[in-house]
Amino acid sequence: MAKTLCSLGILLFFCSLFLKSETSHFVYNGFNGSNIVLDGYARIKDKALKLTDRSKNVIGRAFYRSQIPMSGNSSPNAISFSTHFVFQIVPSDTNRGGYGFAFILSPSTQLSGDGGQFLGVVNPSNDGNSSNHLFMVEFDTVSGHNQKSDRYGNHIGININGLNSIYSESASYYNGLTQRKEDIDLEDENPIQAWIDYDGLAVNVTVAPFPTISKPIKPLLSLPINLSKVMKDFMFAGFSASTGKRASSHYILGWSFKLNGIADPLDVSQISAIPAEKSSSSQNKLKRALITTFSVVLFLLVLALISIFTYRKVMKFEVLEDWELDCPHRFQYKDLYVATKRFNESEIIGVGGFGTVYKGVLQATGAQVAVKKITSNDTLKGTREFAAEIESLGRLRHKNLVNLQGWCKYKRNLLLVYDYVPNGSLHSLLYSSMGTVLSWEQRFNIIKGVASGLLYLHEEWEKVVIHRDVKSSNVLIDRDMNARLGDFGLARLYDHGQNSHTTNVVGTIGYIAPELTRTGKASKGTDVFAYGILLLEIACGRAPVTYEPDRNAILVDRILDCIQTGNILNAVDSKLNSTYAIEEMELVLGLGLLCSHRKPESRPTMKEVIRYLNRDEILPVFDKLNSVGSKRADLIRSRFMALGLADDSIVTTSSIPSSSAGEMSTSSFEISGR
C-alpha cells in the first residue's frame, strides 16, 4: 500500500511538472494551429496573428489559452518571466494610423475594454483600478489619453492596471556598436521585435528592427518594480489592440514566452513580413473611367434608376434631424423586425409608460438584445421622449447603467436597442410569485450598485443627469445579479454648477419628492428621495404604496410605526426569515429614511450615500451606538426623532394632493425645460 501511494505521488509530481512546463514555456514562429484564444476582430491570417485591420472602431485580443503560474513558493516576489515577439503595424494609406497595441498579463481573457486610446484593455470606469491586476507594456502610436487632443505618439510605456504609463520613452533602441540611441518608427510598415524581461526586481523593455538588429545590450526602459502585488497566482499572457477615428492593421508575426529564464529566440527563417497593404487608388481611377464611359451610353437608364431609388428612399426613411447626428449606431428597421419575430407578443419582456420592450436576436451576430418600441398618440411627444433617451443614455457608459447599443427611426416607429439583461427587473424579483427570494447579500449588492450608477450620473459624467424615475421596475438585474439602472426617457441633463430648469412634475407615485409638487423642479435631491424609497422597498419587500385594507397603505408609515414601538427591524421583509446582517439592515432602513426626508437640504448626496454604504462614514443615527438590546432600540428611536425622521417630518405619498395624481404618473412626459 505504501509503495502504491509513493508511486502515485511521484506520478502526480511529474504530471504537475509537465503541465507547468507546458503553460510556462512556448514558442510560435507562426500561429497556424497555435494554442491561442481569439476575441473580437482578432484572427489568424497567413501564419500571422492579426489583431485588427484598418477598419475604424474595432478591438482585437489574443491570449495564450492556458493559465500561467505567476507566483513563486520560495519568494514573496512574482516569478520571473521573459517574452520575445515580432510585430508589424500597417497604418492607413491616407494618414497616420492608430492607436497601437499592448502586451498584457491579465487574470482573465474577458476584458471590458473600450476601443481607441483604451487599446481594448480598460474603460473609463475601471481605468487604474487596483482590482484589475493588469500588467501591460503599450506600443502607442497616438498619444492623447487624458489629454485635450490626439497627436503623433510613437512611444512605449510600462503600465499597471490602466492607461497611465508609470514609465515611458519614445520608441528607440541603442545601437550595439556606437551605443547611440536610434529612433524607430512603430508605423513604418516594417517588422519590429520586442523583448520584455522581468527578474523579480525590475522590468526591462527593449526593441529593435527585425531581423537586421540583434537584441541591444542596453534596454530602452528599465523600471525597478515588484509585481507580486499586481499579479495573481495565475495569469493569461496576450495582446490587445484597437482602432478608433484612426486605424491601422496590427500584426504579431512570432512570439515566445518563458518563466524563470530567457525566452527562446525566434526562427528568422520562418517569420515573414506582411506584404504592404496596397492602396486601391489606381483601381478606383480605372473604375471611375469605366463608369464614366458607360454612363454616356446608359445615361438615361441610370437617371431613371436614380429617380426611382431616390423616390423610394424618401418614402421609406425620414430626414435626419440635428439631434440624430451625434447618436450611437442606427439599426435598420428590417433587422429589428426580424430579430423580434415581427414584434411578436411572445417576445414581450416588459411594458412601460412609453412603450413595449421585446427580446430580440440579431441575425448578423446572434447577439441577444432588448428592443424598446415607443408608443405615443402624440407623435411629437414620442419623438421628444425618444430623443431624450438617446441624448442621455446614448453617451453614458457605466457598469451599473443599461447600455444603449443603438436606435432606429422608421416612419412613425421609434425604437431603442439595449443590451439584453437576462434576470429582468428588481420589481419582478422582489414580488415574484414563483418562489424566488432575493437574499440579503444580493439585495445589499443591488443597493450599492444603484448608488454607484446614480453617483456617476450626478457627479462623475461630463454633465449632470437627473434620472427622474428611479424605481424598482427601472432597475434591471444582470446575469451576475448586479443592478443596472435603465429607462432614461424622463432624464434631464444640465451642466455642472448650474440648476435644473425643469418645471413639470413627472415620475411614479410613491417615489416623488414632496417639493416636486410645489416647485415642479427636479434635482439631484429628488433622485436621492426616490433612491431612499427604493432602499426601504428592497429592505421591507413592500411597494411604497399598497391598497390592502388590513395593512398600512404607506410603506414609510409602516416603518415609522415600527420605530415608535421600539424595533425598526419589525418592518423587514418576512421572506428573508431573519437571515440578514442586522447592522447592514439598520443602516439601509436608516439611510432610506434619511434620503427620503421631506427637507431636501437634510438629504445626503449620492457621494455621501456611497461613503455610508461602504462604512467609510457612520450614519448619524448609529454613531457611537452600542449593541445592547432594548437600550439600543431606545437610542435608535430617540435619534430618529432628533433628526426629524420619526415624527411627521416624513411626507409620504398619502400627503400628496389627489388632484396631482394624474400629473405624476409615468405617462406624464414633457420635453420643455430640458
Instruction: Say if residues 505 and 668 touch (Cβ distance below 8 Å).
Output: yes
The helix or strand, by DSSP H or E, that contains position 45, with its residue range, turns out to be strand 43-45
Instruction: Say if residues 84 and 258 touch (Cβ distance below 8 Å).
Output: no
Q: What is the CA radius of gyration of the chain?
A: 30
Extract long-range pairs of 27-33: CB within 8 Å, 24+ residues apart. Answer: 27/255, 27/256, 27/264, 27/266, 28/254, 28/255, 28/256, 29/254, 29/266, 29/267, 29/270, 29/271, 30/253, 30/254, 30/270, 30/271, 31/252
Instruction: Say if residues 47 and 32 touch (Cβ distance below 8 Å).
Output: yes
Q: Do the annotations mark residue 285 as ligand-binding?
A: no
469 among known catalytic residues:
yes
Q: What angle do CA 146, 148, 150 make, to 5 degrees?
A: 90
Instruction: Say if residues 339 and 362 touch (Cβ distance below 8 Å).
Output: yes
Q: Give the dihedral sign, CA 370/376/378/381.
A: negative
Q: Name the 3-class secondary structure at 371.
A: strand
Residue type, 543: A
Burial class (CB in 10 A: 0-12, 13-18, 19+), 148: exposed
Residues 6+ apart with CB under 8 A from 173: 181, 182, 184, 206, 207, 208, 209, 213, 216, 220
Residues 6+ apart with CB under 8 A from 63: 36, 37, 39, 106, 109, 236, 237, 238, 239
The cell numbers describing 566, all together, are 421600539
Instruction: Give dist(CA 541, CA 252) in Å, integer.
Output: 55
Q: What angle do CA 530, 383, 499 make, to 5 degrees?
A: 45
The cell numbers describing 229, all together, are 502585488
Q: Which of 53, 469, 487, 573 is catalytic?
A: 469
Instruction: Say if residues 475 and 446 touch (Cβ distance below 8 Å).
Output: yes
Q: What is each CA distance from 357 to 345, 346, 411, 431, 479, in whole angstroms?
A: 10, 11, 19, 20, 18
Residue 87: beta bridge partners? 192, 252
Instruction: Give dist(CA 526, CA 608) in Å, integer.
Output: 15
Residue in 166, 162, 144 with CA at minimum distance from that of residue 154:
144
Q: What angle do CA 239, 241, 244 make, to 5 degrees?
A: 170
Using the CB atoms, write b or e for 51-88: b if 16+ within 10 Å.
Answer: bbbbeeebbbbbbbebbbbbeeeeeebbbbbbbbbbbb
Binding site residues for ATP, as ranges? Answer: 373
Active centre residues (catalytic): 469
